[in-house]
Amino acid sequence: MDQDTEAEETNEAQSETVNSNEDSESSNEQQNNNQKKETKQSSRGAPDRAEKATINRVVDGDTIEIKYKGSIEDVRLLLVDTPETVHPSKPVQPFGPEASNFAKEKLEQGETVYIEFDGPKRDHYDRLLGYIWDDGKNLNKQLLRKGLARYAYVYDPPYTHQEALQKAEDYARSNQLGIWSMEGYVTSDGYASQSEDSGDTETESTSQSGSSSSGYNPNGPDRDCSDFDTQAAAQEFYKKAGGPEQDPHRLDGSDGDGKVCESLP
């Protein structure tokens, strides 16, 4: 073999090696890009334990309806309470429409969200209890931070996000946002009633409608059997709230026999 032929073969071998290395680098780069793309697409911004669901409709600020595991389920947002807009025995409360509209703006029908459970999965009305994650953000926390809800119904602490939610409420309160812009409106057990002409508080409303021996206003915040020490106290409250013709607090359960909270002493 002459020197020219040998040199050509050497150059061809080197060229093939370079091309092979370039192809390998290109393949690795493409693989890395695909992995990055796949990671980005699978990232949902919600905790790993959160489960996928689809928005069916928004009922009000703190209650939504989702499609979850093939069924339509009501969801009560965990640890938040927004003013009423659809309660059967209460008027629309200040900032209730704002809370409801905010939820509707965030949660469109058919949209995919994630629900995170924390403690008991259902309440005594058989509604799911959880945090709703939308575009990587906790809706419960957003409502509190904007002053559209109060931190409430803390039945089974500690909760995973309780500190973050409390800080969100503190921010709204210190900046007098939403519900915190009305002095005396937010109470320890709900929202004070407001009359059209004088801004009467819930206490004044209670004196007019009559409170039960439990001290709870029958026209006030939603109550359940755990709020009462005895069946007799729950029964009295039930009657003052309109029972048995009406049961706005849904204390009578599914049997509808007119005797409420029968498990209480």
pLDDT tens per residue across span 115-140: 999 999 999 899 999 999 999 999 99
On whether both 57 and 152 belong to a single domain, the answer is yes
**Considering only 20-34, 115-129, 186-200, 217-231, which range has the smallest mean pLDDT?**
20-34
Distances in whole angstroms, Cα of residue 220 to Cα of each of 87, 111, 145, 263: 11, 34, 24, 23
Contacts of 26 (CB under 8 A, 6+ apart): none
Residue 112, pLDDT score: 97
On whether both 115 and 170 belong to a single domain, the answer is yes
Please identify which residue in the block is written with the tokens 């498990």.
Answer: 263
Asked whether residue 251 is domain-assigned, the answer is yes
Asked whether residue 119 is domain-assigned, the answer is yes
Residue 13, pLDDT score: 52
Does 194 have pLDDT greater than 80? Answer: no
Rounded CA separation 102/64 (Å): 12
Asked whether residue 181 is domain-assigned, the answer is yes
Residue 138 contacts residue 123 (beta carbons within 8 Å): no
What is the model's pTM?
0.61
Predicted confidence band of residue 240 (pLDDT cuts 50, 70, 90)? confident
Domain boundary among 191, 210, 236: 191
On whether both 100 and 142 belong to a single domain, the answer is yes
Asked whether residue 215 is domain-assigned, the answer is no
Q: Nearest-5° angle of CA 210, CA 189, CA 161?
A: 165
How far from chain centre, in Å, is Cα 208? 34
Mean pLDDT of 101-112: 97
Residue 77 contacts residue 70 (beta carbons within 8 Å): no
On whether both 131 and 237 belong to a single domain, the answer is no
- Known catalytic residue at 84: yes
Tens-digit pLDDT profile for residues 50-66: 999 999 999 999 999 99
Rounded CA separation 178/171 (Å): 11
Rounded CA separation 170/118 (Å): 22
Domain boundary among 191, 215, 239: 191
On whether both 165 and 230 belong to a single domain, the answer is no
Phi, psi for residue 77 in degrees, rounded to 5: -60, 130
Mean pLDDT of 139-143: 98
On whether both 246 and 170 belong to a single domain, the answer is no
Sign of CA dihedral 90, 92, 95, 100: positive
On whether both 158 and 73 belong to a single domain, the answer is yes
On whether both 119 and 236 belong to a single domain, the answer is no
Asked whether residue 82 is domain-assigned, the answer is yes
H/E segment holding residue 187: strand 186-187
On whether both 81 and 178 belong to a single domain, the answer is yes
Asked whether residue 34 is domain-assigned, the answer is no
Q: How many CA atoms lie within 13 A of 152 on its CB side?
A: 21
- The number of domains in the chain is 2
Sign of CA dihedral 231, 234, 240, 242: negative
Domain boundary among 166, 191, 216: 191
Residue of 44, 122, 127, 173 marked active site: 127
On whether both 76 and 166 belong to a single domain, the answer is yes
Does 20 have pLDDT greater than 60? Answer: no
Could you list the residue range(s) of the whole structural domain that residue 237 is in? 224-264
Does 107 have pLDDT greater than 70? Answer: yes
Mean pLDDT of 24-36: 49
Does 89 have pLDDT greater than 90? Answer: no
Asked whether residue 173 is domain-assigned, the answer is yes
Q: What is the DSSP letter of 122?
A: B
Q: What is the DSSP letter of 114?
A: E
On whether both 243 and 130 belong to a single domain, the answer is no
Residue 32: helix, strand or coil by DSSP? helix
What is the CATH classification number for the domain harbouring 166? 2.40.50.90
Contacts of 103 (CB under 8 A, 6+ apart): 58, 60, 61, 62, 64, 139, 143
Asked whether residue 172 is domain-assigned, the answer is yes
Tens-digit pLDDT profile for residues 155-185: 889 999 999 999 999 999 999 999 999 999 9
**Considering only 8-22, 40-54, 92-106, 161-175, which range has the smallest mean pLDDT?**
8-22
- Known catalytic residue at 76: yes
